[in-house]
Chains A and B, each alone.
Chain A
Amino acid sequence: MKKTTVKSTIAIIIRLILGFLFLYASLDKIIYPSKFAEIIYNYRVLPVELVNICAILVPWIEVFIGIMLLIGIWIDASAFMLSSITFVFTFLIISAIFRGLNIECGCFSLDAEGSLVSWKRVIEDIFILIGGLYLVWFNWKR
Chain B
Amino acid sequence: MNPTNPIFRIFYRSVCIFMIALCCSLLFNLISPKGLPLITSYRKISIGDKTHKIPLFQTRSFRKDKSSTGQVHVPEEIQLKNVLFHYENSSAIFIDTRNHEDYTEGHIPRAISIPLESFDFKSEILSELSKDQGIITYCDGEECSQSIDMAVYLEELGFTNVYFFIEGWLEWQESGYPISEGDQP
Contacts and interface: CB of A to CB of B under 8 A. Distances in A.
A30 B39 contact: no
Q: Assign chain B's interface to a size class.
A: 20 to 34
A107 interface: no
Interface string B8-30: 01101110111011101110110
Contacts of B59: 33-34
Determine which residue in B25, B36, B37, B55 has the highest number of CB atoms from chain A within 10 A of its CB, and name it: B25
B158 interface: no
B53 interface: yes
Contacts of A41: 40, 55, 57
Interface stretch (A3-11, A51-59, A89-97): A51-59
Contacts of A68: 17
Contacts of B55: 37, 41, 48, 51
A63 B21 CA distance: 8
B40 A34 contact: no
Contacts of B37: 52
B9 A34 contact: no
A74 interface: yes
A112 B118 contact: yes
Nearest to B30: A56
Given A48-B40, A59-B25, A34 B17 contact: no
B9 to A, nearest CB: 7
B39 A49 contact: yes
Given A33-B34, A51-B55, A76-B6, A60 B21 contact: yes
Contacts of A53: 38-39
A30 B12 CA distance: 26
Nearest to A33: B36
Nearest to B24: A60
Nearest to A30: B28
A140 B6 contact: yes
B42 interface: yes
Contacts of B10: 76-77, 80, 136
Contacts of A112: 117-118
A22 to B, nearest CB: 12
A110 to B, nearest CB: 11
Contact of B17 (A33, A38, A81): A81
Interface of A: 30-35, 37-38, 41-42, 48-53, 55-57, 59-61, 63-65, 68, 74, 76-78, 80-81, 102-104, 112, 136, 140-141
Given A30-B28, A52-B38, A56-B29, 10 more contacts: A33-B32, A37-B40, A37-B55, A51-B57, A52-B39, A56-B25, A74-B16, A77-B12, A81-B18, A112-B118
